[in-house]
Amino acid sequence: MSSTVLVINSGSSSIKYQLVDPASGESLASGLVERIGESEGHVKHRAGSETTELHDPVPDHANGMRTVLGLFEKVGPVLADANIVAVGHRVVQGGEYYDGPVLVDDEVVGVIDRLSPVAPLHNPPNLTGIRVARELLPDVPHVAVFDTAFFRNLPAPAATYALNREVAERYKVRRYGAHGTSHQYVSARAAELVGGDSANLRQIVLHLGNGASASAVVGAHAVDTSMGLTPLEGLVMGTRTGDIDPAVVFHLARNAGMSIDEIDDLLNKRSGMKGLTGHNDLRQVHRLAESGDEAATLAVEVYAHRLRKYIGAYAAVMGGLDVLSFTAGVGENDTIVRARAVAGLEFLGVEIDEARNEARSKEARFISPDGARVAVLVVPTNEELAIARQAVSLL
């Protein structure tokens, strides 16, 4: 039987997992544990057409992982028969250390831990997942796949903030990026789809989920990306501001009496589409806009305006543009956002075909007209498969 990889994405109060066949790309089982540490937990395990749900409390990550392993045992597929060759862990921040996947050992665990100050919301729970999984599955290699790895070798002018050099160096302040696994996967799929020699292909990938980021990719290398020291910078997101004048922070601290933690919470969790409209889900925002809500109409324009700015900027960074790809929840599904984002960009050779943009499909596809100067694509992302393949590539 073919080999499989168990992919784990451990968050602060959740564990997402998927058992993947890296060769065929087939997902053999997937699921999630939510509300870890709360009075009622939620576990959902999908195997084939069967879905199992539990609502018992899940006190901690170790308990959650044990429940998941129990479900594999009880509902299947039985892991002992699944020929697992690796456990792949999603880790958000690999700092300056990793530009690719790495076999987890105690030293790697130490580095991920030391990087926690630049990813306080993500690295600690990622690490908890790694610790628990290593304990429960000690006989398989564990591989860490970093969200930042694809951007580790960004050209210095793109990675460097114009911040006092000593301060930047001492506190490791630079652009690390995020969503790298998705940007790498989607840009590689897009190059395949477009065909021909991809060595100098100039691509922009727009990963638009609840978190959102843009990247500029030449050949197989990222040359710029919109997320920075943390995933707060760049595009307008579900609950994050994206780019904002840093002086807003001083202004609010001085004049609104807000603490740093309150401003952190405001910019990360109470802004973006949610802050503008009350909803982070674009589907609800569009519904409001259709019903005549002016704030929602403006919010969609703010979202699209930011996208257009980044497309223009990255085309300039690369000296032109060959491929523009949309991916993730919004990018794959939202016809309105896609149309607004590229409106007026005909001067760059960017156009979309209305019928192609409206057509619904789960497949990677062109939405630009035949013969257009820039290939505009929708490419469903698959971070789990990308992590599984990277894990196997290392072994």
Question: Given the rule CB under 6 A, which residues bind ligand ADP?
Answer: 209-211, 238, 280-283, 328-330, 333-334
Task: Name the residue nearer to ligand ADP (CB basis): 282 or 378.
Answer: 282
Catalytic position from the list 21, 56, 139, 147: 147
Task: Name the residue nearer to ligand ADP (CB basis): 124 or 209.
Answer: 209
User: What minimum distance in Å lies between the beta carbon of 135 and ligand ADP?
Assistant: 27
Task: Name the residue nearer to ligand ADP (CB basis): 170 or 362.
Answer: 362
Contact 358, 374 (CB under 8 A): no
Sequence-ordered list of residues with C-beta below 8 angstroms from that of 182, at least 6 positions apart, any chain: 205, 207, 327, 328, 381, 383, 386
User: What minimum distance in Å lies between the beta carbon of 211 and ligand ADP?
Assistant: 5
Q: What residue number has its CB nearest to ligand ADP?
A: 329
Task: Name the residue nearer to ligand ADP (CB basis): 218 or 379.
Answer: 379
Separation CA 217–CA 338 (nearest Å): 20
User: What minimum distance in Å lies between the beta carbon of 126 and ligand ADP?
Assistant: 15
**Which whole-number Å values give the CA distances from 21 to 4, 134, 243, 342, 392, in the listed order?**
5, 20, 38, 36, 10
Contact 88, 7 (CB under 8 A): yes
- 56 is known as an active-site residue: no
The conformational region for residue 48 under phi > 0 = left, psi -120 to 50 = alpha, else beta, is left
Sequence-ordered list of residues with C-beta below 8 angstroms from that of 308, at least 6 positions apart, any chain: 341, 342, 343, 344, 345
Both structure tokens of 245 = 């004048």
User: What minimum distance in Å lies between the beta carbon of 297 and ligand ADP?
Assistant: 16
User: What minimum distance in Å lies between the beta carbon of 383 and ligand ADP?
Assistant: 8
Separation CA 350–CA 198 (nearest Å): 19
Task: Name the residue nearer to ligand ADP (CB basis): 114 or 283.
Answer: 283
In three-state secondary structure terms, 85 is strand
Which residues belong to the active site?
A: 147
